[in-house]
Structure 1
Amino acid sequence: MKKSKSFKRRKQKKRVKKYSPNLVKLETKKEKMTSSKVWSILLLVCLVFLFFLPREIAYPESRNDIVMSFFIVVVIPFLVYKIVIPFDEEGIVTTFICLVSTIIFGFAIAQFHDYQKEKELRMHGVKTKCFVIDRKMTYKGGSYDIKCKYLVNGKEIKTYFHNEGKNEYKVGNTLELVYNKEFPKMYRINIE
């Protein structure tokens, strides 16, 4: 007597159901570990990108830190979550680790970029004068942010808004500025 195809399929499904719980647990544990390794590599690549961010992204025409903010606030916590969650089934520790990683990596990246900027300005810095072209009250009130412009090889470059602190600079005032001769968008305004 010949058995039908549907009968064979049902029998195979029963066999899989009978032995699958242990296999599934073992496979999911291996998959989680493999997945965790993949997420770890992605996190490492992301951190290398953020620490060694190309100048064109780090110093755009207008101060728009969306790229770095997105990576620090969204991508890094997501990758850390994907790495840690296989080891924390309740998710409480994972949530805490994600929040702490955002703070630690954000601070470390900011410090590293400030250090690199100061190092490059010491090595390749050129002093010049800049002129205050705009002034606006900060959201806290009481102090003002100023925006300046300076000339490099006949090309006008505008700064971002910087807090002046003392409310003494008006539109048209001049300040000292140091810019990187190799990459003029990198600068430091010397506000006394």
Structure 2
Amino acid sequence: MERPPEGLTERLPTDAALLVVDLQKAIDDPRWARVGPRNNPQAEANVAALLGAWRRAGRTVVHVRHDSTEPGSTYRPGGPGHPFKDEALPLPGERVVAKTVHSAFVGTDLDAWLRERGIGTLVVVGVITNNSVEATARMAGNLGYDTRVVSDATFTFARLDWSGRHRTAEEVHDLSLANLSGEYATVMDTAAVLAAVLAALGGG
């Protein structure tokens, strides 16, 4: 994403909801890294910082939880990976949306719930960049939401491409963000989002 000129802050509407996608203990299972390690080791800390800012500002937070129907999934309900990670634990009163597929909008009432509250902007964080984050952001964009994806508050893992070549997690992550940028979403980083929240509060 092209950054705003120095001294200017990216605008973030006051109705912007923070959408935390699939940040559950399942993502720490070593099976995810069988092809290679993840990127953005600071992502959980950035999500925690964003959650803190949203809560202080009284903004809407939505937690998306994956309830896998696949028997061997690390995200299967009842398994050790199903609970949210400590950095992303919902507080009482915060909305939790349970999904069984990649997009948080499929088979859920998320779209209707957001529209009932007049929310038109979504700030998407969580995991994994090229899977549920990308699927959710694409659909949000198609549904007409002003969608922001926070580049350093999401992460993915290395994988083999269609030709069998090894791609690092950073390569997979960057290409996923490139697919989203300009077409479905605006890509921002944590610092820019925090600055926008502060500006909306009159602090910058």
TM-score bin, normalised by smaller chain: under 0.3
The structure that is helix-richer by fraction is 1
Query: Normalising by structure 1, what TM-score?
Result: 0.21
Query: Larger Cα Rg: Structure 1 or Structure 2?
Result: 1
Q: Which has the higher contact order (CA 8 A, sep 6+)?
A: 2
Query: Normalising by structure 2, what TM-score?
Result: 0.20
